[in-house]
């Protein structure tokens, strides 16, 4: 089965898309064409959205699924005239919360993702800068400021995980690639041993690692299965010998890896 899903908001659309994606992921037998439509903040834009929704309904032969976090009631009324099945996220959850809390919602656009109402925005940006400045072992002088230091072979997912933790949680994450030279010494580099309590290891299946490296340097020794198998084996031995907590990143998303790291290390997120 195929269905079209729209994520519509008069703000960034982050909330509508995040919740909508989570709900749709439970329906594995349906293929969804997903369309994010942020900043639908005028009546004219709402009418244009109705046309897009109705066109999708005609093409699919079934009505699209609409996840919306539109605050403006006039715009919501226009969207309600479309041939779509609407999941109004705000009205679904805000009304019961108003009753429970005994207070009315402000019904304001973009409250959770704006700079003005986000006291931790600077923490997020600072964490991203830290992750970029301390990527790939290029600099180790600021490891004392890190919340966590990811270690593992080259191309096992350290950099995207660090950036995600910085952007999503405000975590100061550095990463250091363990090289063939490190493996020959059979010990942690001095820069890492000094901060051993902050280390967390990422490992990966050799087949997957070879595939990733082949995209970067095809037909090279670096991308060969034999080299990948050797590096993964030696790094996993190092993790066991040094008692470094680690997970295999092969079958996990960056989001899952990041959450597991925070749980394993007992790190509290700065952005709440």
Whole-angstrom Cα distance, residue 77 to residue 79? Answer: 5
pLDDT tens track, the chain, 272 positions: 889 999 999 988 888 998 999 999 999 999 999 999 999 999 999 999 999 999 999 999 999 999 999 988 899 999 999 999 999 887 787 778 888 888 876 655 555 555 555 667 788 889 999 999 999 998 899 999 999 999 999 999 999 999 999 988 999 999 999 988 877 776 888 999 999 999 999 999 999 999 999 999 999 999 999 999 999 999 999 999 999 999 999 999 999 999 999 999 999 988 76
Q: What is the residue whose two structure tokens read 């950099």?
A: 159
Is 153 assigned to a binding site? Answer: yes
Q: Are 170 and 195 in contact (CB under 8 A)?
A: no
The arrangement of strands across the sheet holding 148-152 comes to 173-177, 148-152, 199-203, 246-248
* pTM of the full structure: 0.73
Q: Is 159 one of the annotated binding-site residues?
A: yes
Rounded Cα distance, 247 and 267, in Å: 16
* Chain centre to alpha carbon of residue 85: 28
77 assigned ligand-binding residue? no
Q: Could you tell me the residue ranges of all domains in the chain?
A: 2-101, 119-265
Query: pLDDT at position 269, please?
Result: 87
Q: Which CATH class is domain 119-265?
A: alpha beta
166 in helix, strand or coil?
helix
Residue 233 is labelled as binding a ligand: no
Task: For residue 240, say whether it is annotated as part of any ligand binding site.
Answer: no
Phi (first) and psi of residue 148, to 5 degrees: -155, 150
Contact 134, 171 (CB under 8 A): no
* 158 annotated to bind ligand: yes
End-to-end CA separation in angstroms for the chain: 38
Phi, psi of 43 (to 5 degrees): -65, -35
Q: What is the structure's pLDDT at 113? A: 52
CA distance 222 to 225: 9
Q: Cα angle at 44 between 40 and 47, to 5 degrees?
A: 85
């Amino acid at each position: 089965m195929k269905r079209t899903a729209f994520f519509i908001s008069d703000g960034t659309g982050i909330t509508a898309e995040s919740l909508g994606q989570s709900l749709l992921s439970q329906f594995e037998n349906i293929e969804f064409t997903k369309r994010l439509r942020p900043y639908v903040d005028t009546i004219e834009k709402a009418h244009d959205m109705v046309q897009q929704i109705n066109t999708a309904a005609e093409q699919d032969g079934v009505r699209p699924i609409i996840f919306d976090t539109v605050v403006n009631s006039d715009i919501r009324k226009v969207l309600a005239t479309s041939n779509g099945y609407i999941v109004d996220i705000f009205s679904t959850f805000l009304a019961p919360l108003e009753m429970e809390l005994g207070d009315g919602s402000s019904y304001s656009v973009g409250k959770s993702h704006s700079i003005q109402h986000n006291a931790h925005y600077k923490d997020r940006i600072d964490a991203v800068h830290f992750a970029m400045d301390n990527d790939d072992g290029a600099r180790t002088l600021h490891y004392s400021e890190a919340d966590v230091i990811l270690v593992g072979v080259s191309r096992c997912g350290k950099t995207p995980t660090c950036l995600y933790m910085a952007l999503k949680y405000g975590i100061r994450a550095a990463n250091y690639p363990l090289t063939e030279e490190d493996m020959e010494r059979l010990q942690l580099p001095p820069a890492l041993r000094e901060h051993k309590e902050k280390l967390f290891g990422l490992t990966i299946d050799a087949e997957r690692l070879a595939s990733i490296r082949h995209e970067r340097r095809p037909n090279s020794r670096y991308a060969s299965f034999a080299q990948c198998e050797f590096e993964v084996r030696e790094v996993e031995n190092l993790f066991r010998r040094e008692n470094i907590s680690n997970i295999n990143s092969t079958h996990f998303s960056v989001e899952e890896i990041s959450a597991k790291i925070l749980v394993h290390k007992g790190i509290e997120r700065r952005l709440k």
